[in-house]
Structure 1
Amino acid sequence: MNINKPYEEYKISKIPYINQIPKGWIEYPFYAIAYVKSVTKNVDEELLSVFLNKGVIKYNQSTGTQVHKPSQDLSNYQLVESGDLVLNNQQAWRGSVGVSKYRGIVSPAYYVFSLSNLINPKFGNYLFRDAVMVNQFVLSSKGVGSIQRNLYYPFLKRVRVLLPPLDEQDQIVKYLDFQLAKINKFIKSKKKLISILKEKKQAVVNEAVTKGLNPNVKMKPSGVDWLGEIPEHWEIKPLRQLLKPVSVKNRADLPLLSVVREKGVMLRSEMSKEENHNFIPDDLSGYKVVDIGQFAMNKMKAWQGSYGVSSYNGIVSPAYYIFNLFFDNKEYFHYAIRSKVYVNFFYQASDGIRIGQWDLSLNKMKDIPFFIPPEEEQSEIVQYIPHEFKRIEDSISKLQQEIDLITEYRTRLISDVVTGKVDVRDIEITEELEEIDIDEIEEDFNDNEEVVDSEECEV
C-alpha cells in the first residue's frame, strides 16, 4: 500500500502557510476548541515543565539545568490535568507547548487550556507541536528579547486549528505511534553505537598511556592493584615531581578561561551555552592567571576530569589549582592525565562536600603516580591517538548523519499526516508492533544531549 497517498479531495485553507486541506476536515478558531483555565492553590501536586521537543514532562525527569527554578511559594501555580494543553507564554513561538498526559502544576507564566472533546489528546499533542500551529504562535507573539516573545491571547484565540473527524484522529495517532516507535528504536540503536564508539576513544587513550603500543613488551607491576601492569622499561614518578603549584593575581587584559570536561581548557567566549553555565561575578580580582603550557584544574570537579594543559593565556576562577608543568612533551602529558586512569586517581584523592562537588586534596594529589614511557614512545603515542580518534570520529559522524536524516524525516512525517498531506485511514497496523512501549522510546529519543536540542524553558 502506498503510505504517501494523498486524499482524494481537498479544499482551500485559511491557515497561514497551508494552501489546502482534506475536504472532510474542519478549521476551528482556537477559542472554540481550547478553553482558558487557571486553577491555583494546589501546592501538593507534582511539578510539571515544558521542554522544547519534549512537550509536557515531570519536572523531576528534566535535566536539572533549568535557568528558571520553581518558586518557593507554589500557591499561584496552575493545575494541569491529563489532556490539558500547556503553552509557555514566552516560548510557544519556538514550539514549547504540549498536551499533558500528567496531572500536576505549572508556572503562573504558562497558559493552560482544557480541550474540546472534538480532539483526541494524543492527536492534539502531535498537532500543537507541529509547524502548522507553531507558525501561528509566532504570528500571535510579540518580541521582548532575543529569544522571548510574549504570546497574546487576543491574537491566539483567532489561531486556526485543523481537525479531522475523531475516528480519523484515532487512526492518525495509531499510525504515528507505530511509525515513530520504529524510527525512535532506530535512533536509539544508533545512539547506543555512538556511545560505544565514544567509550572506545577513551579505551584507545587508556590502553596507550598505561600499556604502550607494543603488545609484546615485557611488563611489570604498576604498584596500583586496580591498574595492573605497565611496560617494564617505563618510569614512575609522583605528580609532585612534575607539577608545581603557582598563583598569580588577576590581570584585567586577559580573557576568561574555563575547563570543559570533554575538551580541557577553553576560552569562555568560545564555549557553547551548555558548557558555559557557571556564574561569573562582577569582581574578578580573585581570579588566577593561567599561561600557555600550564596545567589548570578545577579542584571541585577534578574527579570528573575538569582539567588540562592550557593552550591559552587567560584567567580562571579562584577554585582552580594552577601548576607549572615540568614535562617536555606536554601533548603526551595532556592525553595521559585526561585519561580515565588519572580521573580515577583524582576521584580517589577528592572528598565530597556537596552534590556534584568534591574537593581535591592537594597533598593526596602530589602522591599520584605518573607512568612515563621513553620520549620516542611518547611521540609515537601522540601520533597514534589522533589517528585512531579520526577513524572513530568518522564512524560517529556517519551515524550522526543517519540520525539527523531520520530525525528530519520524523518531523516531516508528523507534519504531513496531521495536516492532511498524506492519507493514512486505510493503513493497517499490526498488533505485534502496537505493543512497543512508545512512551519509553519517545523519552529516550528526546533526551539526547548529542543530537537533539532539548533546551528547557521556564518552569
Structure 2
Amino acid sequence: MWHRNVFNALGDAGVRSSLSVSDLLNISFLIPPTAVQARIVDFLNIKCVQINELRENIEKQLKILEEYKKSIITEAVTKGLNSNVEMKKSGINWIKKIPKDWTIKKLRYVTKNINDVDHYMPDDSEDIDKVPYLMISDLKSKISDVDFEKCKHISRRDYDVLSVKVKNEKDDIIFARYATIGTVMYIDKNLDFLVSYACLTIKPQNNIYGKFLFYYFKSNAFFEDISQYVNINTQGNIGKESLSKVKIIVPPIREQENIVEYLDKKCTEIDCIINNKKKQLEILEQHKRSLIYEYITGKKEV
C-alpha cells in the first residue's frame, strides 16, 4: 500500500502530509482465511529472502566496481600510463613514487580561483527567463548529464547578482564541500547556471586540464590528502582556504591529455556495468513489490 501511494492519497496536503487515525482505521483490507494467510506469509518469507540475498550480492558487486574504478583512476593520475618510466620519490607517504618529470603543487598554484556564491538562498522563479540553481543532490559527473527539469530555478536578476562573484565556465570543476565531500562535477559546456554555497567552483590554470583535475579529485591520493583538512562537526566540511592547500600531482600537459582520454574510456566501460547492475536492483525491487501485491490480493495462489 505504501509503494502504491495509498497512504499519501489519504493524507492532508500540508508540507508534511499526515494521516489521521480514523483514515487509517477505515482503509479496507482483503482478509483471506487464516490458513491461507499463513501459506502466503510462509511463501513470501522465502521469496523475499531470496530476492534480498540477490540484492545484497549485487550491492557488493557495485561496491567492488566503484572501488575498482577509483583504483584505476588513482593509478593513472599518480603513476601515469607508462609502467617503464623512470620514477622518483614523491615525499608523500601514501603515494611513494611518481614519474621523474612530474611535479607536486598545492592546488592554489594550479588554479586561477576557488570561490563560491554568497551564502543566502534565492527564491524559486517561474519566469520564462530563469536560470538553474543546483544543489549537491543535483550534481552529476558532468553538467551535460544534469536533469535541469527537476532542479531549482532562480530569476535572471538573482543570477546576475550572484554570478558577479563566481561565474561557471567550461572546464571548471564544481566541488561539494559539505557532507558528501569529494562529489565533483566537470563542466563540459558553457551554460548559465549556479550552484549553491555548499559547493565551490574551481577554475584551473593553463598548466592543468580541468578534466584531469576532475579525475584527480576522484582518486584515493586526493582523499588521503584532504582528510587532514576536513572539519568534523554536525557534518564534515572543508573551506576553500584548506582546499587550496591540498597537494596535486601534475604531469606534463600532453600526458594529462593522454590520461584523460584513457580514463574516459575505462570509466565509461565500468560505468556501463555499474548502470546495468543498478537496473538489476530496480527490476528486483519491482518484482518484489509485484510478488507481494499479487499474492496478498489473491491474483495468484500459493
Q: What TM-score results when the alignment is normalised by the length of structure 2?
A: 0.74
Count matched residues.
Answer: 281
Query: How far, CA to CA, are the matches of 1:233 and 1:174 in structure 2?
Result: 66
Distance 1:154 1:255 in 2: 40
Contact 2:102–2:251 (8 Å) recurs in 1: yes
Residues 175 and 227 of structure 1, relative CA distance in 2, 3 Å threshold? same
1:203 aligns with 2:71: yes
- Name the residue aligned to 1:442: none
Aligned match of 1:163: 31
Deviation of 1:387 (Å): 1.3
Correspondence 1:142-153 to 2 at 5 A? 144=13, 153=22
Change (3 A) 1:399 1:255: closer
Which of 252, 271, 276 in structure 2 is aligned with 1:393?
271
Gap change, CA 1:313 and 1:325, over 3 Å in 2: farther
Q: What's the CA shift for 1:307? A: 4.5
Q: Does residue 382 in structure 1 map to residue 260 in structure 2?
A: yes
1:325 aligned residue: 204
Q: Which runs of 5+ in 1 are unaligned?
A: 1-50, 54-92, 97-136, 278-282, 425-459
Give the Cα–Cα distance (whole angstroms) in 1 for the partners of residues 255 and 15 of structure 2.
Answer: 52
How far apart in 2 are the matches of 1:404 and 1:167? Answer: 32
**Which residue number corresponds to residue 167 of structure 2?**
290
What amino acid is the match of 2:107? L
CA deviation map 1:100-128 (0-9, x unaligned): xxxxxxxxxxxxxxxxxxxxxxxxxxxxx
Correspondence list, 1:68-147, <5 A: 94-96=5-7, 141=10, 144=13
Rounded to whole Å, the distance in 2 between the matches of 1:342 and 1:306 is 12
C-alpha distance 395-166 of structure 1, shift in aligned 2 (>3 A): same
For the pair 1:263 / 2:140, whether they are aligned, the reply is yes
State the Cα distance separating 1:298 from its structure 2 match: 4.5
AA at the equivalent of 1:358: N
Shift in CA distance, 260/237, structure 1 to aligned 2, threshold 3 Å: farther
- Once the two structures are TM-superposed, the CA of residue 382 in structure 1 deviates from its matched residue by 1.1
- The one-letter code matched in structure 1 to 2:57 is S
Distance 2:136 2:23 in 1: 47
CA contact (8 A) 2:172 2:210 kept: no
CA distance in 2: counterparts of 1:411 and 1:316, whole angstroms: 37
Whose Rg is larger?
Answer: 1
What is the SS of the residue equivalent to 1:289? coil
Conserved? CA contact 1:308–1:338, under 8 Å: no
Q: Which residue of 1 aligns with 2:111?
A: 243
The alpha-carbon distance between structure 1 residues 355 and 413, as it changes in their structure 2 partners (threshold 3 A), is: same
The structure whose residues are more often helix, as a share, is 2
Please state whether the residue corresponding to 2:93 is helix, strand or coil: coil
Q: Distance in 2 between matches of 1:421 and 1:248?
A: 56
Q: Hey, what's the Cα distance between the residues in 2 that align with 1:241 and 1:155?
A: 62
Task: Give me the whole-angstrom Cα distance separating, in 1, the residues matched to 2:174 and 2:66.
Answer: 24
> Structure 2: 5+ residue runs without aligned partners?
123-128, 153-157
Secondary structure of 2:64 counterpart: helix
Which residue is 1:405 aligned to?
Answer: 283
Tell me how far apart the structure 1 counterparts of residues 275 and 196 of structure 2 sit (CA, whole Å): 34
**Paired residue type of 2:140:** K
Q: For the structure 1 residues 147 and 383, does the alpha-carbon distance in structure 2 shift closer, same or farther, using more than 3 Å as the test?
A: farther
User: Which residue matches 1:44?
Assistant: none
Q: 1:370 aligns with which of 237, 245, 248?
A: 248
Q: In structure 2, how many angstroms separate the alpha carbons of the residues matched to 1:154 and 1:239?
A: 58
Deviations, residues 409-432 of structure 1 (Å, cap 9, x unaligned): 3223222222223332xxxxxxxx
Which of 272, 277, 294 in structure 2 is aligned with 1:416? 294
SS in 2 for 1:217: coil
Aligned partner of 1:209: which letter?
A: V
SS of equivalent residue, structure 2 residue 288? helix
Could you state the TM-score of these two structures normalised by the residue count of structure 1?
0.51
Distance in 2 (alpha carbons) for counterparts of 1:260 and 1:198: 19
Distance in 2 of aligned mates of 1:348 and 1:248: 22
Could you tell me which of 337, 341, 351 is aligned with 2:217? Answer: 337
- TM-aligned CA distance change 1:170 to 1:272, over 3 Å: farther
Give 3-state SS (helix, strand or coil) of 1:370's partner.
strand
Structure 1 CA distance for aligned equivalents of residues 301 and 116 of structure 2: 69
Alignment match of 2:44 (pick from 176, 180, 185): 176
In 2 relative to 1, CA 340–95 (structure 1 residues): closer, same or farther, beyond 3 Å? farther
Q: Indicate how the Cα distance of structure 1 residues 153 and 357 shifts in structure 2: closer, same or farther if over 3 A, else same.
A: same
Distance 1:201 1:261, change over 3 A: farther
Corresponding residue number in structure 1 for 2:125: none
SS across alignment from 1:224: coil
